[in-house]
Amino acid sequence: MAKLMIRGLETNVEIWNEEAQQTLVALHGFTGSTATWRNLAKALPDVRVIAIDLIGHGQTAIPQQISRFSMQEQIQDLEEVCSQLELKKITLLGYSMGGRVALSYAISYPERVEKLILESASPGLQTSEERSERCEKDNALAEKIVRNGLLSFVNAWENIPLFQSQKRLPNSVQEAIRSERLSQKEDGLAGSLRGIGTGVQPSYWLSLAELEFPVLLITGSLDEKFCKIALEMKALLKNVKHQTVNDAGHAIHVENPAEFATIVEEYLT
């Protein structure tokens, strides 16, 4: 674990396999942390895996101003992390919310990105109607988290349809996910929803055609919504591959870690 001072915010970074030549920067989803990628790093001993606690998550400091949670701020932070760690070219991996951040970063700093891997991610919502509707939902959820506390939120969150397929996982795995969620802070999650939720982030659909570097889209066959989004993205990207993992839902890295690691490793080489 390392704490970096990034644009005034103490940012938590975890690095595995430091001697490896190849570098993978990995960004977790909502309610996640660097712990999300621990098993992947173990499965890829020849890859230096650098995981970052995104704003409002894990052990990264929580900003006071809501504006500091925005996508623009987050991608500037990522660029500063790359500068401080002297990373010239990276393969960037993002899951769900982290996938939205990874894509946003790759669009803003394409010269930094060698390859982009997006797990169950989207370029945002296409219409302003969809965005404002989602904003309302995210704001309501943020208020609920602050009002009712973390435990109440996590109990509800782990039961949403998106994570239904995780109910089949061994208890030890479910407990690990739960403890990662319970390690968060109410104001961090609420700020993340308000500042970087799908409703407030810009739509990047029109930028997809500009990307020159290779992009890998990974989805789980049980996650119909994100399989559909991946197909729509695939139609717009120049240099793209889409892999669907059978019998997995939204979090493929959790539901089928061995296959996920194999896909990532093959794509890196």
- The predicted-structure confidence for 110-158, as pLDDT tens digits, reads as follows 999 999 999 999 999 999 999 999 999 999 999 999 999 999 999 999 9
pLDDT at residue 144 in the model: 97
Cα–Cα distance for residue pair 269/169, rounded to 1 Å: 30
99 within domain boundaries: yes
50 within domain boundaries: yes
Q: Which amino acid is at 156?
A: A
121: domain CATH number is 3.40.50.1820
Range of the domain at 113: 2-125+202-268
Q: Look up residue 93 and give its DSSP letter.
A: E
158 within domain boundaries: no
132 within domain boundaries: no
| Count of domains for the chain | 1
- Helix count and strand count (H, E) for the chain: 10, 8
pLDDT, mean of residues 34-50? 97
pLDDT tens per residue, range 85-100: 999 999 999 999 999 9
160 within domain boundaries: no
pLDDT tens per residue, range 217-254: 999 999 999 999 999 999 999 999 999 999 999 999 99
Is residue 159's pLDDT more than 90? yes
51 within domain boundaries: yes
182 within domain boundaries: no
pLDDT cut 70: percent of the chain above it? 100
189 within domain boundaries: no
pLDDT band per the 50, 70, 90 thresholds, residue 194 = very high
pLDDT band per the 50, 70, 90 thresholds, residue 1 = confident
Q: Which amino acid is at 142?
A: A
Global model pTM greater than 0.85: yes
